[in-house]
Amino acid sequence: EPEVTQTPSHQVTQMGQEVILRCVPISNHLYFYWYRQILGQKVEFLVSFYNNEISEKSEIFDDQFSVERPDGSNFTLKIRSTKLEDSAMYFCASKFTTNVGEQYFGPGTRLTVT
């Protein structure tokens, strides 16, 4: 069964450093998303991406964040200058169709900012 994959599974970085989280969505999916979950809290939407551009972003997704689909398979989330409060689980998700259509999540990257 096809699945979303993410690397690395755990990333430890120092405050102020740049990190890139990588995702490979399911191959025939067209819509891509990043969510995050701070420990003990609910899953929160960050950004959606379609046709090589951002469709929607949340208030969390400020100028420190960017997304890119550098080739036909990878989808990346970059945080330019990490803060302690960026420590969270980051999930990538993908979907085949718009509107009704289930999103499938990758296993996540645990980001720890020290």
Partner 1 sequence: RKEVEQDPGPFNVPEGATVAFNCTYSNSASQSFFWYRQDCRKEPKLLMSVYSSGNEDGRFTAQLNRASQYISLLIRDSKLSDSATYLCVVNGNTDKLIFGTGTRLQVFP
Q: Which residues bind partner 1 (CB under 8 A)?
A: 31, 33, 35, 41-45, 48, 55-56, 58, 89, 91, 93, 95, 98-108, 110
Residue closer to partner 1 by CB (options 3, 18) is 3
The reply to whether omega before 25 is within 30° of 0 (cis) is no
Shortest gap between Cβ of 81 and partner 1 (angstroms)?
A: 25
Nearest to partner 1 of 42, 70 (CB atom): 42
Nearer to partner 1 by Cβ, of 19 and 33: the residue is 33
Distances (CA, A) of 57 to 48, 66, 92: 6, 10, 14
Cβ count near 31 (within 10 Å): 18
Q: How far apart are CA 39 and CA 112, in angstroms?
A: 11
Choose between 4 and 19: whose C-beta lies nearer to partner 1.
4
